[in-house]
Structure 1
Amino acid sequence: MNFDSQTWTELSQAFAFLGNSLLAPMSQTERYGVDPSFWREFPDFGDEEVAASVSRCLAYAEGKRAALDEDDLVREISVEYTHLFIGPPRPSAAPWETFYRNADVSVGFGEATFEMQRLLREAGLRISNENNQYADHIGIELLYLATLCERAACGDQASAEAGAAFAADRPLAWIDAFCQRICGECADGYYRGVVELASALLSLVARESAEPGK
């Protein structure tokens, strides 16, 4: 793999931030995403798609902070989160892989859930979240990848290869459809930028396993 230890560390931190951002509304998590300085310092890894996504997140934060104070913006983003990923009556943009792997799915527990449970067990990880999300939630998949990147940063080649393969085979296979649903509901919202950035970073990591000689 071409990534050095520092790059893997930064990727781990980026995926951890994005994963946590998608697991709970901002009113229950960190508020970094509403701070323009956070996005100005966010690494783009020299990748045009990642840089464009970071720029979208920065433009959102700058535009909103010019009109709203932090508390009001956090409330607005939290309402958006509820509409998109919780409901009622149901999520407008279901955040579980199962919904995008199978046609006409009406429940959130499927084969993709079992597959993620297996991967988490094999990695020695356990789901511990207050919202009791299914294992194939986009946030959990990104946190799993963050762990693999962290291990890769410590020189674990197997984790580096597993992370690249996982990015390509799992979240990258459905995140575009997920993003399309978000755009259909809140095209100018916060989470479009977050998910587009996640997609760009997944593509970056997946290319590590696709390039010749790796």
Structure 2
Amino acid sequence: MNYNSQTWTELSQTFAFLGNSLLAPMSQTERHGVDPSFWREFPNFKNKAVATAISHCLAYAENKRAIMNEDDLVREISVEYTHLFVGPPHPSAAPWETFYRGESVSIGFGEATFEMQRLLREAGLQISNDNNQYADHIGIELLYLATLCERASHGEQSSTDIATFTSEHPLSWIGALEQCIYDECTDGYYQGVVKLAGALLSMVAHDPREHIDK
């Protein structure tokens, strides 16, 4: 993949939005996701899978805003977040890579956590979040990727390194996370968000060039 500086910057902003969206309930973050106009302007990078995922998010926002006000919808999405990623008694869709590295994993701190801690340390980054999440949380992996993309926009990070990280970490397990979310909540907000993240990750890792004219 050979993106220009502007595209890398847009990718950085996109992954940052998705990462923050998956690190905390919407009641504690930005509310952009409930605004249909936000999704209409969301960059699709001329990629079919990304465009399809954005359409899913747009349809959710349009359908919900037709019957709910913004505050009520934010509350509903925040309850969904808690059910999926927090519990009690435990997350219905574990948001940590460790859980998808092996069968019957019941603890949240594993090899993937150590690997992400090392990558963050080598990049000069520190985890700073109120929820004290493990380093292999999907939100943190996406925020790390956002940093790599931002550095690529300045010519400070190679696209090969970005593709390697993407393939070995978030892309390797986001499909399983999406399936868990689908099994728990087939018509919720986060299915669309994770589907969009997966499409963008696949694009960055493989650059399939399934472009659309837009």
Q: TM-score, with normalisation over the residues of structure 1?
A: 0.96
Where do 5+ consecutive residues of structure 2 fail to align? 210-214
CA distance in 2, matches of 1:204, 1:118: 25
Look up the equivalent residue of 1:49 and give its one-letter code: A
**3-state SS of 2:147 partner:** helix
Indicate whether 1:150 and 2:150 are aligned: yes
Equivalent position of 2:94 in the other structure = 94
Deviations 1:129-155 (A, max 9, x none): 000000000000000000000000111
SS of aligned partner of 2:201: helix
1:29 matched to which residue of 2? 29
Per-residue CA distance 1:6-26 (angstroms, 9 max, x = gap): 110000000000000000000
2-structure distance, mates of 1:102, 1:144: 23
Alpha-carbon offset, residue 157 of structure 1: 4.1
Q: Which runs of 5+ in 1 are unaligned?
A: none
Scaled by the length of structure 2, what TM-score is found?
0.96
- 1:110-149, aligned counterparts within 5 Å? 110-149=110-149
Structure 1 stretches of 4+ with a deviation exceeding 3 A read none
**Percent identity between the aligned chains?**
74
- Provide the rounded CA distance (Å) in 1 between the counterparts of 2:168 and 2:97: 12
The Cα of 1:2 is off from its aligned counterpart by 1.4
User: Is the partner of 2:81 in helix, strand or coil?
Assistant: helix
Cα distance in structure 1, aligned partners of 2:166 and 2:32: 24
Per the alignment, residue 190 of structure 1 pairs with 189
Q: Would you tell me which structure has more helix in proportion to its own residues?
A: 1
Tell me, in whole angstroms, the C-alpha distance in 1 between the residues paired with 2:44 and 2:54.
7
Which residue of 1 is the match for residue 170 of structure 2?
Answer: 171
Figure out how many residues of one structure are paired with residues of the other and give that number. 209
d(CA) in 1 for partners of 2:165, 2:187: 29
Q: For 2:22, what is the secondary structure of its paired residue?
A: helix
> What's the C-alpha RMSD, in Å, of the aligned pairs?
1.1
Q: Distance in 2 between matches of 1:82 and 1:157?
A: 35
Residue type of the alignment partner of 1:195: V
Are 1:50 and 2:50 an aligned pair? yes
How much does 1:156 deviate?
Answer: 2.0
TM-superposed deviation, 1:161: 2.2
Matched residue SS, 1:188 = coil
- Specify the alignment match of 1:108 in structure 2: 108
